[in-house]
Amino acid sequence: MEELRGSLLYSIRYDLGGSIVEEGVLDTCLARMREVFPDLRPRLSDLSVFNFSYLARADQKYVLAEEEIIFKGQHWHLRTELDPAGTLGFWLQSPKYEAKEPCELAKRLLGSHQQFLDDKNLDYLIYLSRNGEVRGRLSSFEIPADRGELDFGRRVDQILSLISDQVAQRKRYKFHDFRPIFLLSDDAFASEETRNALVFLDQNSAIKQGCGLNSSATDEPLRGSEGRYVANTWSFVVREQCWTNELEQMFSHAHSHWFQIHGSIFEIRDLEAYIDRTVIKRRELNVAYLQSFGRFLEARKNEMFSSIFAAQNSDFITKNAQYRDDLEIFMTDFGIDKQIGILKDFAERISNYIVEQNNYLSLLESRALNRNTKMLEVLFLLNTAAGIAAFAPSIFSSDIQPEFVFDLPRMLALLILFGSFIFYFGVIFLGSQLSRREQVAVAKKDWMKMIDD
């Protein structure tokens, strides 16, 4: 019997915290990265897959490096890609494993997958700790002193050190996402038990039950393309000869799309938590503050949804029906529509919350302004009455001075009247200047920095 073959391929995504697509900025960043990655080049593999109308409006993606790394004594292939919209991608592929039985191949692949997880998480915990994300229940994990053989976090930090001052800042999603793809030879893919063990990442079943899965595991319907691949959201099993450049581009597009939406959900959640803290503590809270924050939020929402919807229309993006069908299967498997729904709900809730708080504070400030206005009117009335009353002695005085200019009571009355006018309009002018200065100060706030702090 011909030996069965299979390998592991990982699609891994990290967030850079903002885009570098602006003219001049991208050139600066590419020049800096080219000093470290001399083989940096545009990624041309997607030109044959996507419509020109989409490519004309999409950012050019780049391959930073392709290299061989040693992992567990074996040569693995690593490709690093940059999306200037703000995502860094790694494609890591294992050597081919061989076995005489499908079950044995599944055991070897799942064993290698577990080794990958154990080693990757050493680097991951160090990366999260360095970025201030080891909190909550994560704080119960012991941070390793040294990473293992895999160093994705170090590579991300290296790239950020080159371009961070050029990145158009937004809230950076500091967690990563990865999906395993099992590439099988024809005979191995033909084994349903092997496919099930791999797609459900069920190492225990593969070892103890000869690749057989219990009925509860297989009750879940699997998506895919018959004879080509099966998908289960978190893992994918593909017939090796079907893993073409075109299929990889469809998968990459769906994964990047999901990662972008997922990061936006966390950004909106952090924005909501921030405005909650601000409202509860009453820290710097006023109408101008909330209006400025509301404008910032609407701008971020527009950026999020414009890029999301532009990348979602499979008919607009792809060149033929097969590419479209594959992309829609991957989009469905990643749960893109569900993620967009969650993002919309979060964004709408925080927008409504800001509007409610803004209306409430506007009402309070309006009432306070009315009270102040009435107080000024009363004060002005009293001053006027006092000024008129000051004329009385001079009117009935028997020794009125012949020249008005030397009439002291009248002069005092005029000074009081003039002073009250100056005071009244001075208060109004000073109030408007202070309000304008406050609005300018609020408008210049670096919201992303404040939220991070």
- Name, in order, each residue with C-beta under 8 angstroms of 392's C-beta and a sequence gap of 6 or more: none
Helix boundaries (H) for 131-244: 152-163, 186-189, 192-199, 203-208, 215-218
287 CB neighbour count, 10 Å cutoff: 21
pLDDT computed for residue 388 by the predictor: 60
Closest CA relative to residue 349, chosen from 288, 266, 268: 268
Strands in 51-103 per DSSP E: 62-71, 74-83, 87-93, 97-99
**Between 25-36 and 152-163, two packed helices, what is the crossing angle to 10 degrees?**
130
Strands in 311-409 per DSSP E: none
Q: How far, in Å, CA of 35 to CA of 159, rounded?
A: 11
Kindly write down the DSSP assignment for every residue of 344-372, as one continuous string: HHHHHHHHHHHHHHHHHHHHHHHHHHHHH
pLDDT computed for residue 304 by the predictor: 73
Tokens representing residue 228 in the block: 């080509």
- CA distances 48 to 52, 245, 441, Å, are 9, 9, 50
Closest CA relative to residue 314, chosen from 329, 302, 333, 334: 329
Strands in 84-176 per DSSP E: 87-93, 97-99, 168-169
Q: How far, in Å, CA of 78 to CA of 33, rounded?
A: 17
Q: Are 297 and 275 in contact (CB under 8 A)?
A: no
Beta strand 236-239 pairing with 177-184: parallel
Quick one: which H or E segment has residue 272?
A: helix 245-281
35 CB neighbour count, 10 Å cutoff: 9
Q: How far, in Å, CA of 284 to CA of 7, rounded?
A: 57
Q: Are 72 and 149 in contact (CB under 8 A)?
A: yes
Q: Per-residue confidence of the chain (453 residues) as pLDDT tens digits?
A: 578 999 999 999 999 998 898 888 999 999 999 999 999 999 988 888 898 888 888 889 999 999 999 999 999 999 999 999 899 999 999 999 999 998 899 999 999 999 999 999 999 999 999 999 998 899 898 899 888 899 999 999 999 999 999 987 778 899 999 999 999 999 999 999 899 899 998 766 544 445 554 434 455 667 898 899 999 889 999 999 999 999 999 999 999 999 989 988 888 888 777 777 776 565 555 666 667 777 777 777 777 777 677 667 788 888 889 999 999 999 999 988 888 888 888 888 888 877 777 777 666 666 655 656 656 656 666 666 665 655 555 555 555 555 544 556 666 666 766 676 677 666 666 666 655 555 555 445 555 555 555
